[in-house]
Structure 1
């Protein structure tokens, strides 16, 4: 029995499974060791996860998380998981590897994450071979919900939105500049806060001004990330994440402009990860050899 966690900045999907079935599904808040320490992560695990798992004691845990991109950050998550599951064998990896495994399985391809944040990698069917770096919320995250939220809110406060669109946003949120900035800079995970405004963009996605922002968001993502891989027009480009899934029509338009072939767009990597790990379990027969 193994436990798989797919964690973004907003939410974490947990799945307990064996070689043939999913035994338990739980959702908690997201974890990001860039902003949270071991104690904060463990406290949430103790409150939100452990009571729901009850008597299930996984032998192995595979945690794929946003921000898990260095030994120091990974250790924060690993220590929290070790407190919660003292007898388990724990593996902590970047959510980019989760995306590659979920999207590509054992085949080569480009795997892209477009959710609250964004990232990409070139995957050879076994390991990540190249990664155009993601510079995070302040300097990057092109294509993401956070980046789209920034484009929208800048246009709103700079008075660049058409009047009817600005009035609609004002009616929905009734937010002032000072309140917005206080919420943004006071938030423990600012990208999560500003990404909430992507919901407005989705609701108004057929408005020409909003469609232009969505298109710009994805075009910047392709130019700064996908197009940097030398063979991006020759191998499948795959996407996972809420932004890719909900804005897939525009994403496909942008991909066509750049000559990229999209093979798969999914909202969450959970299903693909389940399939990936169950295949490994079926091959080896026991979870302790699954890697």
Structure 2
């Protein structure tokens, strides 16, 4: 059997395939990111949320994850997976390669992630040939759920939201205040996850001009910094995956049209495309 995983900072999508490429089971677990988590923490999560849901002998594990940029950064995830599935061949790849393989297949294109975080790459149909690296939550991740939530909370704390939206936000999040936000931002783990939890509020008020402009501006920044700088960006299909791309699809398409970019596909998860990629061999 082949076990595939597409892991972001918030959650992991798992798919177990039999030898004929047929789906056996698909489930979700907590996200694993070796940039923030140790091998021990990842191993515990695998023992509690993944291994019990996988029956039978797994021959291969292909784990695509945020924070798995190279062999060194991937090591905690690789070692934890080896402990969890000792009889399997383990391969750890970046979540960006999952996006490229899952969205583009074996065709050239530009693949982007807009979820809790954001990323991008130019893919030639076989490998990633260019990546304009994000600088992470505090210095980058433009267009992501964490970025959108951070902007929304900042506007709220500065008293810059329109009255209706301000009151709705205060009702929805009565515990949000300057000191509590500073604590979550600078003292608690996973600030990107925390700020991304505010993205659903934006989707509820997407018909309000202030909110729509906030989201559209974030996508314009992402496209300007990370997409149009790729060689041939105007001629290649531009694909997106991730919850933010999925739930804000209409605004994202508007931003792409304004930049003269060619839409490929927008998928919440690249998993089904990944399955086709690995079944084809």
The TM-score range, normalised by the shorter chain, is over 0.9
Gap runs ≥5 in structure 1: 281-291
Instruction: State the distance in 1 between where 2:57 and 2:208 align.
Output: 50
The answer as to 2:229 corresponding to 1:228 is yes
Equivalent residue for 2:172?
172
> What's the CA shift for 1:90?
0.4
TM-score by length of 1: 0.94
SS in 2 for 1:255: helix
Structure-to-structure mapping, 1:152-167, within 5 angstroms: 152-167=152-167
CA contact (8 A) 1:64 1:93 kept: yes
The answer as to 2:84 corresponding to 1:84 is yes
Instruction: State the distance in 1 between where 2:216 and 2:27 align.
Output: 34
Equivalent residue for 1:257?
258
Q: Deviations over 1:98-123 (max 9, x none)?
A: 00001000000000000000000000
Instruction: State the distance in 1 between where 2:221 and 2:185 align.
Output: 23
Equivalent residue for 2:141?
141
The answer as to 2:248 corresponding to 1:210 is no
> What's the CA shift for 1:183?
2.2
Equivalent residue for 2:113?
113
Instruction: State the distance in 1 between where 2:254 and 2:151 align.
Output: 19
Instruction: State the distance in 2 between where 1:60 and 1:184 align.
Output: 38
CA contact (8 A) 1:187 1:193 kept: no
Gap runs ≥5 in structure 2: none
> What's the CA shift for 1:242?
0.6
SS in 1 for 2:228: helix
Equivalent residue for 1:73?
73
> What's the CA shift for 1:26?
2.1
SS in 1 for 2:50: helix
TM-score by length of 2: 0.97
Instruction: State the distance in 2 between where 1:115 and 1:3 align.
Output: 22
Q: Which runs of 4+ in 1 moved over 3 A?
A: none
Equivalent residue for 1:270?
271
The answer as to 2:8 corresponding to 1:14 is no
Q: Deviations over 1:163-182 (max 9, x none)?
A: 11111100000021111221
> What's the CA shift for 1:70?
2.6
SS in 1 for 2:215: helix
> What's the CA shift for 1:128?
0.4
Equivalent pairs, count: 279
Structure-to-structure mapping, 1:87-98, within 5 angstroms: 87-98=87-98
